[in-house]
Structure 1
Amino acid sequence: MEDFGINNNEGTATNALSNDTRLGSASKGCGSDIRRSIEDLSHEELYDLGKSYLDRLGRLGELGDMGKAMKYAKHTFSSTPDGHPDLQTRLAQLGACYSDRFKRLGELNDMEKAVDCSIRALELTPGATPDQHSNLSGLCADLGASYINRYRRLGEASDSDKAIEYMNSALSFTPNDHPDLPRRHSNLGASYGDRYRRLGKPNDLEESMKWITRAVELAPKDCSYLPALIANLGGTYNSRYRRLGELDILEKAIEHRLCALELTPNGHPDLPVRHGLWRDKILKISISVKDIFFHDANLGLSYRDKYRHLAGIGDLNKAIKSHSSALKLTPNNHPDLPDRYSNLGMSYYDRYHRLGKFCDLEKSIKCDHHALLLTPGNHPDFSRRQADMGVSYSAPYRRTGKLDALEKAIEYHSRAVALTPNCHPHSSARHTNLGAAHGDRYKRLGELANLDKSIGHALYTLTFTPDSHPDLPLRYGNLGVAYLTWYSRLREPADIQTSIEHMTSALLLTPEDHSNLSYWYTTLGVSYSDQYDSLGESADFKKAIEHLSHALGLTPNGHTDLRHRYAALGVAYRSQYRHIGEWVSLEKAIEYDDIALTLTPEGHPGLSLRHFCWATNYRLAYQHTSDPSYLNTSMDLFREASRLPNSAPRELFNYAVIWARFARTFGHLSCIEAFRVTIDFLPQFIWLGATTSQRYYDLSLAEGLPVIAGCAAIRASEGSLALEWLEHTRCVVWSQSLMLRSPLDDLKSSYPYLGNQLQEAAKRLRYASSDSPHMRNISEANTLELRQHLARQYDELLAQVRNQAGFKNFLRPAKSDVLLHAARYGPIAVINCFEVHCDALLLIPGCEDIIHIPLPDFTGVKAHKFRSEMEKSIRSRRSNERGVERRPVKEEEVDFQSALSDLWYNIVKPILDFLGYTNNPGIATENMPHITWCPTGILSFLPLHAAGDYEQPGSRAFDYVISSYTPTLTALLNTTTSTLRRNSRVLIIGQEATPGHQQLPGTIKELEYIVGHMKGRVNHSKLSGSQATTMTVLNAMEQHDWVHLACHAHQSVQDPTESGFFLHDGLAFLSACQTATGDETLPDEAIHLASGMLMAGYRSVIATMWSVVDDDAPFVADEVYARLIRDGKIDNGEVGKALHYAVAELRDKIGEKEFNRWVPYIHVGS
C-alpha cells in the first residue's frame, strides 16, 4: 500500500525556477561563487527550492532531483539556528528527504535518520495542541510514516504499533475541512493493513478497510492522489479475499485496482500550474511513474488470485502482463524491485504448472533468484524470498527428477521456516511447503524420517489454521495426502481411513467454483481406489470412479494435471479387473493409461510410471488371453519403464525387479537382460546415503532377488554370471561397509590428494550412516541432509578415481575370474536354494572353471520346513542353555534327525561324491580335506556341517570333511596366512553376571581354561565383570589380534542393527546380531555377529548358530585353544580344524544325537 508522508505548502514555481537559474549560473564559476550564490538566497528561498526538487522527484522519479533536494534541505537546516521558529519545518523537510531516499535506495541509515528527524521535529512542540501549532498533525503523520517505513524494512512489531499510534494522533489533530484528511485516513488504514499482514488478526484487517474506505469517500474526485487511495482500498479487498476466499471480494479488489490504473493519466491537469516551464517535458511522460508501476503490480496480484480461484488462463496472462509492466517501470535501485521480481516469478510459476512449458519455469526461477539477491538478509520479506526459491526448485525436481533440485528446495524451505516466527500468518504456508518437499524426498529415497517430517509439518499447519481461513481445505488435503503415502508404506487400514476423512473435509470446504476442486476430487478418488484395492469392497470402487470422473470433468484441456486424472482412472479400473476379472475393466484401464502416457512429456520423471502401468495392463491381458503378442508388448514396455532417465532409482529398480520376475515366470527371452538391469540398479536402490537400518529395509523389498537371479543365470548356462550375481546381490550392506573401510594405499601412492579426500569422505559417511549410538557419538550431527550430501560427495570422488589411469575398476564388484581365487585352501560350494530346486556352483583350487552340480531333490520349501522344525526342537530343549533360567519344559517330538538326513542325501553327499571325498571312509581328521560352504537364502540357517544319516555308519559330513562357512566369496579373497607368535595379543572377555540378565557361571571356568593355555606362550589381556564396559572392550579390541567373548548376546528380530553383545554397561555394537544366528527376513545379508566380526577385520570366527549349553562352552573353548596354541596357526583352515576336533570330543562326551548341543558350533572365515 502507498502511504503519504510530509505535506508542506507548495512553493511558487516562479521563485523555484528563478533560484535554480541563479544557482545554475553561479555553478559556472568557482566554488566560492557557488557558496556566495547559496548564501545570497534566503532560508525561505532555499527551503522552497529544496521542496520543489522534492516535489518533482515524487512526480518524475529522477534521482538527480533527489540529490538536489537533499543538498538544499541539509543547507537550510544547518544554517537555521536553535530556537528559530522555522527549525521544526526544516527538520521535517530533511526527514522527508531521508525518507524518500530510503524508499528509493533502501539504505538503512537513511531510514534511521528520517525517524530521528521526525522525532526531533515533533519534540520541538512539547505539549502543543493543533490550535497552538498548525502543523502538529503533519508532524505526527511524518513520524508515523517513518515508523511504517522502518517496520516494512525490519519487521519489528513495535514499529508497527508506533506507526498506528502516530497515525491515529495525526488523524485526531486534523480538522474536518483539512485537505490532507483523506490521506490521514488512508495512512492509518495502511498501518493497520501492515500489522494485519504480520500478525494475521482479522480486527486489523477490518480497521484497515474502514479507514481506507473513509479516505476514498472523503477525497475530492479531481485530487491527484485519488488513484493511490483507490488502489489501497483494492489491496485491502485483496487481503480480505485471501482471508475469506470469497470471489465477489476479489472482484471488488480487481475493480478498484483497475479504476486506480485508469485514473493515473499520462498528463496531470495540475502539472502546468505547479511546474510552469517544465510543462512540455512533463506532458511527454507519465505523471507519476511510481503510481503506474504500483497500480500495475497490485492489479497483477489480484489477477493472479483470481486465476488461482477460477483457473482462467486469461487472468493469469493478465497477471503476467501487469507484473511485467510494473517491473519495467521500476528503477533498478528502487526498494520495491525485489517485490516486482517475486510477483512476476510466482505468476510464471503458476503458468508453468498450468501449461507445463519449461521456459516459464526457467523464467520463474530467474525472477525469484533476482528477488532474493536484491533482498537484504535482515529484511522481513527475506523469509518469503527463501520460500519462493523453495517452490521454484521443487518444480524442476518434479519435472526432471534431479535430486539436487529437491535438495535445494528443502534447503530454501528450511531457511524460510527457520526465519518465520510461529505466530506469523505465513508460518503455516512455510511448513506446508517444507512438508511437501520432505514428502517428495521420501518418495525418492524411501527413508521413513522424511515421511515423518512430511506428516509432522502437515499436522502443524492444520493445527494452526483458523476454521474460517480459506487455506483450511489445503491444510486438510495435504494431511490427507501424507496419510495416503503413509498407508502405501505400512498398509495400515487406519491410515487410509484417516486419509479419506481429511480429503473429504478438504472437498467439502472448497467452494464449488475453486480451481483446487478437481485436485481434491482426484486425491479422494485415489484414496478410495487404494482402499478398494486392499479390501475389495465394490462401494469403494464406485466412490473412486465417481470422484475421479468428476475430477476429470473439472480439469481444462491442456492442463498439466490432465494426465494424472487419466492415470488415476486407469489404476482404479486395473484394480477392479484384478478383483472381478472382467475384460471390460482391463480395456478401460488400457484406454486411460494410453491417454495418460500420450499426455506425459518426453523427459518427464513420470514417464517410467506411465510405461510401467501400461506394461502391467498388457501382462494382465496376456494372462487373460494367452495371446503372446500381449506378453511381448508387456516385456518391451517393462524394459522401457526400467530404462527411462530422470525417474527415481528406487522406482526404476522396482520396475526392473517386476520385469525380471515376470520374464522368468513366463520364460521370456528378456529374462537375463531384465536381471542384469535390476542388478545394475541395486547400488542406487541400496544407497549409501541411507542409514544402515533403511538399507536393510530396502533389501527386504527385494527379498529373494539373489536366489531368483542366480537360478535364472544357471538355467541359461551362465555359470560365471550366476556366480557374480550371487556375490553382488548378497550381503550388500556388508559389502558397502567393507568398501568404506577399504585401505587406499595404492590410490594414495599414485594420487595422494584424491586418496586422502576419498578416505576422509568414506570415514565421515560411515559414521553418518551408522545406526550405532557409539558411531553417532563420534560423528557430526546425523541428519538426513548431511548423510545424503556425504553420499553424493563420496560417489563423485569415486567417479573421479575411476577416471584415473589404472583405477578403472577401483572398488567395483569382483568379476568371476577374481572370485575363483577365493578357493585357496579347499573347495567352496556356493549353493543356490530356490523354491523348487537347488544348484551348487563349485569352486576348486587351481581350477578355472565353475562347476555346476544340480540338486533337484532339495527345495526352498523343504528348507523352510526344516528351519521351522529345528527351531521347535531347540526351543523344547532350552532348559540347560547358557544364560537361560532353568525351568521344567515338555520335550517336543520334532524330527531334527530327518532334516539332517535330507540335507545329507540331497545336498552335501552329492557334492562330496563329485569331489571324490566319500571314497575315503575312515580318513583321519588330520588328513581330512577342508570345504567352505556358502549357502544362499533360507539354506543359510541350516547346519550343512552336521548333515548325515545318523542311522547309517559312514554317512555323516564330519566323517569326510572339515567344514567352514563364509557369507561371501569376497570375505575370503583378502585373507593372508597368520601365525600365532609370542608377540601376538589375545583379548579375553567374560561376563558371568550382566545387569538385567541371567548369570553365566560357566564363563569363569571358560576364562580359566583360556588363560591357562596362554600363560607363557602368548600375550593376553583379560576383562571380566565390571571391567568389561562397552568402551573399554571396543578400545581393547583395537589393540589385540584375537578376541574371545564369553557373555550374553542379543539379536533383535525387528531391527537387526540393534543387536550385539551385552557387556557390563550396555550393548557393544559390533555390527549386527548374536553369534551366527541370522535374520530370517534377510537370509542373504548374513546379519549376524560372525559376519560382523569378519567385517571388522577378523579373518576367522568361531560362533554358534543358536544358544549353547552353559557347561559345553568351557569344554569346547578348552579343546580349541589347546590345539591352536600348540600348532600356532590360525589360517589355512586351522581354526576350522581345531573346532572340528573340539566338537568331536564334545560328541563323544554327550552322544552324537544330542544335536542341539554340538551342532550350533561353527567356523566362519578362512
Structure 2
Amino acid sequence: MQFEQTGQLADLEEPIGFHREALELTPGSHPNRSALLNNLANALLAQFEQTGQLADLEESIGFHREALELTPGSHPNRSASLNNLANALLAQFEQTGQLADLEESIGFHQEALELLPGSHPNRSASLNNLANALLAQFNRTGQLADLEESIGFHREALALTPRSHPNRSASLNNLANALLAQFKQTGQLANLEESIGFHREALELTPGSHPNRSASLNNLANALLAQFEQTGQLADLEPNRSASHSNLANAVWAQFEQTGQLAGLEESIGFHQEALELRPGSYPTQSGLFNGLKNALLAQFDRTGQLADFEKSIGFHREALELRPGSHPNRSLSLSNLASALLRQTGQLADIDECMSCFRDASAHATASVITRFRYSRHWACKAASLCHSSAMEAYQYSIDLLPHLASLDLHIRQRQEALSRARGLAYDACSYAIEAGQFDKAVEFLSTGRTVFWTQALQLRTPLNELQSVAPYLALKLRTISNALEATSAHDGSQAMPGSLQHIRDLEQEATHRRILNKDWNDTLEGVRKLEGFDGFLLPMSISKLRKASSNGLVVLLNAADSGCDALVVTQKEVKHIPLPDLSITTTQCLGDILRMALSSHKAHLVLGVLWFTVARPVIDALDLKIKQEDRDIPTRIWWCPTGPFAFLPIHAAGVYEGDNPKCLSDYAISSYTPTLDALLALPPPKVLEPKMLAVIQPEIPGDHRLDLRFTLEELRMIEQHVPKTWLTKLGTKEGPTYVERVLSLLPEASFVHFACHGLQDLVNPLESALVLGDGNLTVSKIMQNPIQNASLAFLSASETAMGDEKVPDEAIHLAATMLFAGFRGVVGTMWTMHDEDGPEVVDVFYNHIFGTNPESHPDSTKAAEALHLAVNKLRTEKKVPFWRWVGF
C-alpha cells in the first residue's frame, strides 16, 4: 500500500473505497471474504490512527469479528485474523480505557501465538503484539508480572528479526519502551541504559523519510528525558527537540529548569497546548498532557506571579486526576502533582490539609510502584515537617514502613543496596523530627527500623523457628523452605557482565520472576503466621518496650546526625534519655571522617579525636555522670555505641585529648563496644558446647609480593597457642596446614571462635567481593554469607579494614565484620583501617588471656570480649606507648 511508504492520508482513502467495493461483490460464502474483511478492517484501523475518528475504529472491529467467524481453528489465516482483531481491540482500549477490550485483546493475541510455531515468519509480529498488549495491561494495573512477561516476549521477537528485517526498528522500539517502563518501576539504571541503546539502534534504522522516524525520535526523547532526570546532564535533552509536541514540551520545560530562560518555558506551554488540542476529550493520555501543561503553567506563575496561570494549573491538575480512576497506576502522580501545586497556595490551612491528604493518598496508592510511593511519602514527610503539620510523624512512619518493600527480597543484593541508597537520610531526619517533638521513644524506633534494612531482612531468613515449629509445624517448614530458596536465589549481586545471548537474558529474567514469586510466598506465609495466637508480631519491628531490653548488659547510646542537628539517645531499661550535641553538625561529622581518612598519622588526626571528645564523649559523660575509674581493678561502665550515618566512620571509642598536661579520654570512663542495631544486642546467646572449637587462620607470606608479608602473624598464633587448649584449636597457615579457601569454609561451620590474621580487602564497588586474603585466593563475603555457623560465638579479624563501611549506605554496609555477625557470631573484633603487623601479638596475648582465663581448661567467656580488647588497647597505649594511629583503629 502506497500509504505505508508515504504516510499521506490521501493514499489511504482510495484503497478503502476499493476494499468496500470488493467486499460488496463478495458473498458471505465466498472463500476470500474473510481476507477482504481483514483488508478493509486494517485500512480503517490505519485511517483511525491518522484521524482519531472513533467510527473508523468501531467499523474496523466489526469487520475483524466477522472475518474471525469465517476462519475456524484449522484455517491457515486464523492466527492473522486473531492478531488483527486483537490489535483493533487494543486500539479501542487505548481510546476508551475499558479493561474488557484489553483483556479480550490479550486473549486473542495468546491464541494467535499458539498457532504459530517457532519457525513461522509471522511469529515475531505476533510476539510483539502480545507483548504490547501486556505492557498496556501493566500500565493500567501496575502488575509487575505483566511487564516481565511483556519484556520476555519482546526479546524473543527481536531475536527473530535480523538487522535487515523491515520490522526490526519497531521491535527495537517496543522492547526499549518496555525496558523504560521497568526502569520507572524498579529504578534499575541498567534497564534505562539498555532502553536508550535499543532506541538509538531503532533510530538508525529509520531514515529521515521513514514514516516511523517521528515515533522513534519521540521514544528516544522519553528515554533521554528519564536519563536527564537521573543524571542532570543537559546534553541528554538535546535530541528531544525533534520529538512529538508533548515530549518536546517536556524536554523544553526540563531545559528551562536547567537554564532559567523564560522563552523556553513559554515555548513548552505552547507545545503542551497544541498537543492537548490534538487529543479528543476522552483520550486516555489526556491526563498526562494536563499534567505537563499544568507544570509549565506553575513554573510560569513562579516566574511572573500571574495568578491566572496558577488557577489554570490547579484546574488542569484536578481534570488530570479525574481522568485517572482509582486503579490507574499514574493516579499517584496526579495526586502528588496536585499536592505540590497546592503548596503554592496562599497558606490557608484547608489548602495545606488537602495537600497532605493528596500526598497520603499518593503514597498509599496500591497500583503505583513502590519506588513511586516511597518518593511521594518522603516528599510528604519533608513538606509536613517543614510546615509543622500534624501528619509529619505519620508520613515518616509510612516512609520507613515502605523500606522493606523498596529493597524487597525479590531483588538481588546489589539492587537492594541501590534501592536503599534512595532512602539515605530518611531515618536520621525522622529521628530528628521525633526528638524535636519530644517523642524520644519514637525516635529510637525510627532509627531501629529505618536502618540496617538489608541485614535485618537477611537475618530474618535465618530466624530460629523452634516456637513456631511446636505450634504450626507446616508453616514452620514452609517458611524454612521459602527462606532457603530466597537466600540461594538472591545470593549473587547482579554485577556480572551481561552476555548478548538471548538465553542468558532469559535465564536472568526467569530468575528474577522466580525471586518475585518466592518473595510473595514469603510475605503471604508471614501473614498466615501472624494470625496465630501469640505470633501477631512475628518478624515485625520491635516496639520500644522490647528495644529497651538491649541495655541489660550496658548503656546503649545512639548517635544521630541530621540536617537539623546532632543528638545522642541513651537507652536504659526504664527510659530513653536525650542528650543534645549542640556543638556538632552533620557537615562537621562528615568533614571529621574525611580528615581522618586523609591524615591518619598526622597531627590533624589528633584534632579529630579532640573534637570528638568535646562534642560527643564529654556531653555524654556529663549527662550520665560517669566517673573515671579509681583503681586498676575497677571495671568502667559499659557503653554500647550505635553510630548512624557519618558517625559510623568515626572512632568514638578513641575520643580524647592526648596531648598537653591534662590528657583525658573516653576509655578512662567507659568500655566501648559498637552495635549496628539494638536488635543485635537481643540475639540469643550461642548454645553451650562442652568443648569449644577455635579456628585460627594466619597468612604470614603473600605469594608474589613479599613486601606485604605479615611476619608477626606467626607470633600471633604462638600467643593463641599459649591460651587455647590444643584439643580445641585448629591451625591453618603453618607449613603443616596451609590456608586454602575451601578448607577454611569447611571448618567454619563447626567453629565457636575464629581468628583471622591476614590481609583484608574492602571492595566498595562490589561489596560481596570484599575478602580475607588467603594462600590460594580470597575468602569473600559472598562465600562466608552462604555458611551459617550454628555454634558461633566470637570472631577476631586481625586484618585491615574489616569494619570499614560504604559512605553511600553507611547503615547498610556489607563489610567483613558485618558478614561475621550475619554468619552467626555474637561478637566480632574488627579494625577500621590497616593495623600495624607487630601490634597483633601484643593485642592477642592480652585479649585471649582475658577470654580464656589463667586456667587453660576453663570454659571461655566471649561476653568478656569488650573488656579484653579494652585491656589490650590500653596496654598498647599506656605501656607500649605506640603512636595513637596504631591503636585507635581497634
TM-score when scaled to structure 1? 0.69
SS in 2 for 1:702: coil
Counterpart residue number, 1:1088: 815
Name which of 343, 356, 371 aligns with 2:112. Answer: 371
Most deviating of 298-307 and 612-621 = 612-621
Contact kept, 8 Å, 2:691 with 2:728, in 1: the verdict is yes
1:679 is aligned to 400
Residue 576 to residue 424, structure 1, CA distance change in 2 (3 Å):
same
SS of equivalent to 1:1083:
coil
Structure-2 change in CA distance of 1:420 and 1:751 (3 Å):
farther
Give the counterpart of 1:1156 among 857, 872, 885. 885
Alpha-carbon distance in structure 1 between the residues aligned to 2:718 and 2:493: 32
Q: Secondary structure at the match of 1:838?
A: strand
Give the drift of 1:393: 1.4
How big is the shift at 1:555?
2.2
2:870 pairs with 1:1140: yes
Structure 2 SS opposite 1:931: strand
1:1077 Cα deviation (Å)? 1.6
Spell out the pairing of 1:1095-1114 with structure 2 (5 A cutoff): 1095-1114=822-841
| In structure 2, C-alpha distance between the alignment counterparts of 1:300 and 1:821, rounded to whole Å | 73
Q: How does 1:197-596 map to 2 (within 5 A)?
A: 237=1, 240-264=2-26, 266=27, 286=28, 288-331=29-72, 333-375=74-116, 379-420=120-161, 423-465=164-206, 468-497=209-238, 499-500=239-240, 504=242, 507=243, 520-576=244-300, 586-596=310-320
Task: Give the corresponding residue for 2:699.
Answer: 990
1:600-626, CA deviations, whole angstroms, 9 ceiling, x for partnerless residues? 2332111111111111122234xxx55
Deviation readout 1:406-464 (Å, 9 max, x if unpaired): 22322333343345555543343333322222211111111223223323332343344
Q: Per-residue displacement from partner, 1:1032-1065 (whole Å, max 9, x unpaired)?
A: 4433433433222233323344454443333445
1:1022 is aligned to 732
Equivalence map 1:613-652=2 (5 Å)? 613-621=337-345, 625-652=346-373
Identify the residue that residue 757 of structure 2 maps to in structure 1.
1046
Partner residue of 1:603? 327
- The structural deviation recorded for 1:578 is 5.8
With over 3 angstroms needed to count, the CA separation of the structure-2 counterparts of 1:1074 and 1:359, relative to structure 1, is same
For residues 1053-1068 of structure 1, the aligned pairs below 5 Å read 1053-1068=764-779
Q: Describe the superposition over 1:964-989 as per-residue Cα deviations: whole angstroms up to 9, x where unpaired.
A: 00011122222416779754122313
Residues 431 and 444 of structure 2 are in contact (CA less than 8 Å); yes or no, is this contact kept in structure 1? Answer: yes
Larger radius of gyration: 1
CA distance 1:978–1:469, change in 2 (3 Å): same
Q: Tell me whether 1:1010 sits opposite 2:738 in the alignment.
A: no
Aligned match for 1:1123, one of 850, 867, 871: 850
1:766 corresponds in structure 2 to: 487
Check 1:390–1:905 CA distance in 2 against 1; reply closer, same or farther (3 A cut): same
Relative to structure 1, the CA distance from residue 441 to residue 981 in structure 2 (aligned partners, 3 Å threshold; closer, same or farther) is same
**Do the aligned partners of 2:432 and 2:565 also contact (CA within 8 Å) in 1?**
no
Tell me: CA distance 1:613–1:372, structure 2 relative to 1, closer, same or farther (3 Å): same
Residue 832 (structure 1) aligned with residue 560 (structure 2): yes
* Secondary structure of the corresponding residue to residue 1068 of structure 1: strand
Aligned residue in 2 for 1:700: 421
d(CA) in 1 for partners of 2:67 and 2:725?
90
Structure 1: which amino acid aligns with 2:708?
Q
Q: Which runs of 5+ in 2 are unaligned?
A: 499-503, 786-799
Deviation string, structure 1 residues 278-331 (Cα, Å, up to 9, x no partner) = xxxxxxxx4x34333322221001111122233222221221121122223444
Matches within 5 A, 1:852-891: 852-874=578-600, 877=601, 891=602
Aligned to 1:737: 458
In structure 2, do the counterparts of structure 1 residues 687 and 769 end up closer, same or farther at CA, with 3 Å as the change threshold? same
1: distance between equivalents of 2:266 and 2:706?
57
Q: Which amino acid aligns with 2:340?
A: T
Change (3 A) 1:297 1:1092: same
Contact map agreement 2:412 2:494 (CA 8 A) in 1: no
Which residue identity does 1:974 align to in structure 2?
A
Q: 2:442 corresponds to which letter in structure 1?
A: L
Which residue identity is paired with 2:803? A
How big is the shift at 1:371? 2.9
Alpha-carbon distance in 2 for matches of 1:521, 1:994: 64
Residue identity opposite 2:508 in structure 1: T
Specify which of 925, 935, 940 is matched with residue 648 of structure 2.
940
Residue 731 of structure 2 aligns with an amino acid whose one-letter code is S
Distance across 2 between alignment mates of 1:440 and 1:867: 39
Q: Structure 1 CA distance, aligned partners of 2:452 and 2:25?
A: 76
Q: 2:781 aligns with which of 1053, 1057, 1070?
A: 1070
Structure 1 segments unaligned to the other structure (5+ residues): 1-236, 267-285, 508-519, 878-890, 1162-1166
Q: Aligned partners of 1:392 and 1:646: how far apart in 2?
A: 18
1:972 aligns with 2:703: no
Q: 1:783 to 1:1131 in 2, by over 3 A?
A: farther
Deviation at 1:1020, TM superposition (A): 1.8
Shift of 1:1143: 0.4
Structure-1 separation of matches of 2:405 and 2:697: 41
Q: How many angstroms does 1:962 deviate by?
A: 1.2
Does the Cα contact within 8 Å between 1:985 and 1:1040 map onto a contact in 2?
Answer: yes
CA contact (8 A) 2:462 2:483 kept: yes
Q: CA deviation at 1:580?
A: 7.1
Structure 1 pair 447–590 and aligned structure 2 pair: CA distance change class (3 A) = same
**Residues 293 and 782 of structure 1: is their aligned pair in 2 closer, same or farther, counting only changes over 3 Å?**
closer
Say which is worse superposed, 1095-1104 or 424-433, in terms of deviation: 424-433
What is the alpha-carbon distance in structure 2 between the residues aligned to residue 618 and residue 957 of structure 1? 51
**How much does 1:865 deviate?**
3.4
Are the equivalent residues in 2 in contact too, given 1:304–1:319 (CA < 8 A)?
yes
Does the 8 Å contact 1:1029/1:1065 carry over to 2? yes
In 2, Cα distance between equivalents of 1:1028 and 1:573? 68
Q: Secondary structure at the match of 2:366?
A: coil
Counterparts in 2 of 1:254 and 1:450: CA distance versus 1, 3 Å: same
Aligned length: 860
Contact 1:656 1:677 in 2 (8 A): yes
What's 1:665 paired with?
386
Match of 2:792 in 1: none
Q: 1:1104 Cα shift? A: 1.4
Counterpart secondary structure, 2:695: strand
Name the CA distance, whole Å, in 2 between partners of 1:391 and 1:1092.
44
- TM-score, L = length of structure 2: 0.89
Query: Which residue of 511, 527, 532 corresponds with 1:802?
Result: 527
Matches within 5 A, 1:24-43: none
CA contact (8 A) 1:1100 1:1130 kept: no
Secondary structure of the residue that 2:368 maps to in structure 1? coil
Cα deviation digits, residues 620-644 of structure 1 (max 9, x gap)? 34xxx55444433322222222122
Shift of 1:915: 4.2
Compared CA separation, residues 290 and 692, structure 1 to 2 (3 A): same
What residue is the counterpart of 1:843 in the other structure? Answer: 571
Alpha-carbon distance between aligned partners in 2 of 1:301 and 1:415, rounded to the nearest angstrom: 25
Report the alpha carbon displacement of residue 1102 of structure 1 after superposing the two structures with TM. Answer: 1.0
